[in-house]
């Protein structure tokens, strides 16, 4: 009974993972704007690969040879994909809507570009 439930869970995870990965790939190809194009692989693709890794994890633990590798890969994927997509979108928005870079604050806690013409302090580089 347990083996049958494991097989059903593995099959369901593989189907769900395949569908989400397919939707993510299709969205990556068909969407025209780079910011819109980010949503497909970061949302659908991440869930698809996560479901495929879940199927691999269920199979490994059903065979009693499971390891923590799949869990670590899922955790790494779910942390890094949204963060990298956020930074890619931020760069795209900055390039699209910013002819000149913003002037960084004088306190030096934030900077976009180090352009001497836009400095507000009297210090030369």
Q: Hey, where are the domains in the chain?
A: 1-95
70 burial type by CB count under 10 A (0-12 exposed, 13-18 middle, 19+ buried): buried
Q: Is the pLDDT confidence value at 109 over 60? A: no
Q: Which of 44, 47, 42 minimizes the C-alpha distance to 86?
A: 42
Q: Is the pLDDT confidence value at 110 over 70? A: no
Joined together, the tokens standing for residue 106 give 């004088």
Confidence of residue 120 (pLDDT cuts 50, 70, 90): low
For residue 56, what are the contacts with CB-CB under 8 A and spacing of at least 6?
A: 70
Cα first-last separation, the chain: 72
The pLDDT value recorded for residue 86 is 84
Q: Which of 68, 46, 45 minimizes the C-alpha distance to 57?
A: 68
Query: What span, in angstroms and rounded, lies between the C-alpha atoms of 79 and 39?
Result: 15
State mean pLDDT over 20-40: 84
Q: Which residue has the tokens 């879940």?
A: 54
Q: Comparing 75 with 15, which gets the higher pLDDT?
A: 15
The pLDDT value recorded for residue 64 is 80
Q: Which residue has the tokens 């302090």?
A: 121
Joined together, the tokens standing for residue 23 give 């939707």
C-alpha angle 48-51-57 in degrees, rounded to nearest 5:
145
The pLDDT value recorded for residue 15 is 97
At 63-106, the pLDDT tens digits run: 887 778 888 888 898 888 888 888 888 888 777 766 666 665 66
Q: Comparing 110 with 112, which gets the higher pLDDT?
A: 110
């Amino acid at each position: 009974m347990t083996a049958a439930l494991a097989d059903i869970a593995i099959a369901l995870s593989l189907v769900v993972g395949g569908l989400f990965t397919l939707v993510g790939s299709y969205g990556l190809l068909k969407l025209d704007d780079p910011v819109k194009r980010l949503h497909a692989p970061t949302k659908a693709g991440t869930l698809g690969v996560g479901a495929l890794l879940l199927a691999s994890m269920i199979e490994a633990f059903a065979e009693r040879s499971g390891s923590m590798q799949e869990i670590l890969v899922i955790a790494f994927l779910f942390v890094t994909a949204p963060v990298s997509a956020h930074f890619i979108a931020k760069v795209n928005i900055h390039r699209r809507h910013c002819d000149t870079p913003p002037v960084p604050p004088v306190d030096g806690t934030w900077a976009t570009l180090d352009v001497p013409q836009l400095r507000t302090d009297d210090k030369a580089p």
